[in-house]
Amino acid sequence: SEATPEIKKGLVGVYADVSTVSKVMPETNSLTYRGYAVQDLCENCSFEEVAYLLWNGELPNRDQLAEFKAAEAAEREISPALHRVIKDFPASAHPMDAIRTAVSFMGMEDPESADVSEAATRRKAVRLLAKIPTAIAAAHRASKGLDPVAPDPSHSFGENFFNLVFGKVPQPEVLKAFDVSLILYAEHTFNASTYTARLVTSTGADIHGAITAGIAALKGPLHGGANEAVMHMLKEVGGPEKAEEWLSTRFDHKALVMGFGHRVYKSGDSRVPTMTKYAERMAEVVGDRRWMETSRVLAAKMLKEKNIHPNLDFPAGPAYYLMGFDIPLFTPIFVASRITGWAAHVIEQAADNRLIRPLSHYTGPEQRPVPPMDQR
Ligand code: SDX
């Protein structure tokens, strides 16, 4: 029999390509986008500036930013046809399935649908960035029997998102915390959804197909779906005083604790301290400390007993809850942000493409004849 080749299950430790978009440095728990530390971007830039940076390699000057924001704001409307389709989605549909379907539909309607040139892909990326919040909010409101709110082009990206969901814009501290979360979620090297988008792109398919597939990958609870799972978990724990015992029971069952662990970071996720700081601020603004206190007890015990650190989804879950979002909207918010990183990788993949096609080592039955029907 053949020798078994070395299998890298889960592609652990495999460098699949080069990239200039971002760099994760697990030895120092740090992350840069196009060379800028993510914490530095959070304190000094808006999400729109970071989106521009990811797509163009450099931060925008004042004029470039104004032009970029105007282009995004001008593309926020979704078509009457898409509004009709969204109204027909089952009210029970998960918002991630809704936005996955809406993005796929947008691909069919896009005026440059078949054009996979870099210039067309960049224009389509702006349209996706602009329209994704409109579709997420329309589907969410439709599921509650509410009419959609029209996008207001004078709003920033963050203001627009809140207005589309709630019909109003919150106070500046809330907007800042939301913007920080979008910046932290924007990009993270070859994670599962980004690699999915690159794989689809490697076949020569268009960006809407790549992003539809990326959204499908992000939904899973081992990936983006964890931010929702974290909040369900915090509610189930039932308060800081019950957290230690709750976690001991999880350990007894060898169950996963959502929002902990990471494939690349083993001594702490670069994004957690910043997101925790802003989640704490949300707790102050709202005057509800129990979620962050429960989180603190869980994180301390996970570290002490398992030596496992939280990932970004751990503080992002309660932060979004404190901002007033329904839990099933948490991963769609991740989509509204990660479209920037996904599109940067789609453009990078297409610019220097080779079909992604690994091998499998066959371990099934030896070759055998097909038996006639009455002998099976
Ligand atoms: C994201 O890659 C990215 O960049 C993703 C992301 C991004 O920005 O795109 O950062 C976003 O997806 C964050 C991850 C969100 N997922 C979760 O929070 C789900 C819970 N986490 C785990 O399932 C896990 O840690 C993963 C999926 C995140 C990583 O899986 P790995 O790399 O395959 O690690 P593993 O499952 O092999 O874990 C190693 C050990 C195991 O124990 P042993 O078998 O060695 O004894 O650590 C244990 C695991 O059981 N472990 C956990 C745990 N995470 C790891 N034990 C309990 N709870 C956990 N959460």
pLDDT tens string 153-171: 999 999 999 999 999 999 9
Asked if residue 374 has pLDDT above 90, the reply is yes
Token pair in block for residue 76: 């926020």
Share of the chain above pLDDT 70, in %: 99
Residue nearest to atom 15 of ligand 1 (CA): 223
Residue nearest to atom 48 of ligand 1 (CA): 261
The answer to whether the CB of 289 is under 6 A from ligand 1 is no
Annotated catalytic residue within 155, 223, 288, 326: 223
Residue nearest to atom 14 of ligand 1 (CA): 223
| Ligand 1 mean position, distance from CA 33 (Å) | 23
Asked if residue 92 has pLDDT above 80, the reply is yes
Task: Specify whether the CB–CB gap between 339 and 132 falls below 8 A.
Answer: yes
Residue 374 appears among annotated catalytic residues: no
| Ligand 1 mean position, distance from CA 265 (Å) | 10
| Ligand 1 mean position, distance from CA 371 (Å) | 45
Q: Is the dihedral of CA 44, 179, 299, 308 positive or negative?
A: negative
Share of the chain above pLDDT 90, in %: 98
Token pair in block for residue 96: 């991630």
Q: Quick count: other Cβ atoms within 10 Å of Cβ 256? A: 14
Asked if residue 2 has pLDDT above 80, the reply is no
Residue 223 appears among annotated catalytic residues: yes
The answer to whether the CB of 32 is under 6 A from ligand 1 is no
pLDDT tens string 304-362: 999 999 999 999 999 999 999 999 999 999 999 999 999 999 999 999 999 999 999 99
pLDDT tens string 184-231: 999 999 999 999 999 999 999 999 999 999 999 999 999 999 999 999
Q: Which DSSP string corresponds to 252-314?
A: HTT---TTB--SS-SS--TTHHHHHHHHHHHHHHHT--HHHHHHHHHHHHHHHHH---B-THH
pLDDT of residue 3: 84
pLDDT of residue 1: 57
Asked if residue 5 has pLDDT above 90, the reply is yes
pLDDT of residue 365: 97
pLDDT, average across residues 136-140: 98
Task: Specify whether the CB–CB gap between 51 and 129 falls below 8 A.
Answer: yes
Question: In this predicted complex, what is the ipTM?
Answer: 0.98
Give whole-number Cα distances, 311 to 48, 74, 119, 348, 363, in Å: 24, 35, 35, 26, 35
Residue nearest to atom 8 of ligand 1 (CA): 188
User: How many angstroms separate the CA atoms of 291 and 322, rounded?
Assistant: 9
Q: What is the mean pLDDT of the chain?
A: 97
Residue 262 appears among annotated catalytic residues: yes
pLDDT of residue 85: 98
